[in-house]
């Protein structure tokens, strides 16, 4: 017995109906337009897009927390004294 009934053999139409309920704009943003989620390649195409989004957000949050750590320890002033632009320092930390 499967936990998710939509993944049973023969229920591909139900799974496709669920993915068709996602608005076209959201499908375009996540790159799901031409992907058939019922097929293996379509499923992994959707999963890879979500994984790339999650990992990029994680990297951004990790970099911002590193900058916040510098501000809390009051060491950011020493970094900004160096003859490099602030934009270059922040982009390298993020």
DSSP string, 40-67: HHHHHHHHHHHHHHHHHHHHHHHHHHHH
**What per-residue confidence (pLDDT) applies to 30?**
75
**What per-residue confidence (pLDDT) applies to 5?**
60
**What per-residue confidence (pLDDT) applies to 80?**
74
Euclidean distance between CA atoms 88 and 13, whole angstroms: 51
Q: What is the value of pTM for the model shown?
A: 0.59
Domain boundaries, the chain: 1-38, 52-94
**What per-residue confidence (pLDDT) applies to 9?**
63
E strands, the chain, in order: none
- Enumerate residue ranges in the chain where pLDDT < 70: 1-13, 94
**What per-residue confidence (pLDDT) applies to 56?**
92
């Amino acid at each position: 017995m499967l936990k998710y009934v939509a993944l049973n053999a023969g229920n591909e139409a139900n799974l496709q109906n669920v993915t068709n309920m996602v608005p076209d704009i959201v499908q375009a943003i996540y790159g799901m337009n031409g992907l058939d989620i019922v097929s293996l390649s379509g499923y992994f195409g959707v999963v890879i897009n979500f994984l790339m989004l999650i990992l990029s957000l994680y990297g951004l949050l990790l970099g911002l927390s590193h900058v916040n750590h510098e501000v809390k320890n009051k060491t950011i002033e020493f970094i900004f004294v160096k003859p490099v632009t602030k934009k270059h320092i922040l982009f390298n930390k993020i």
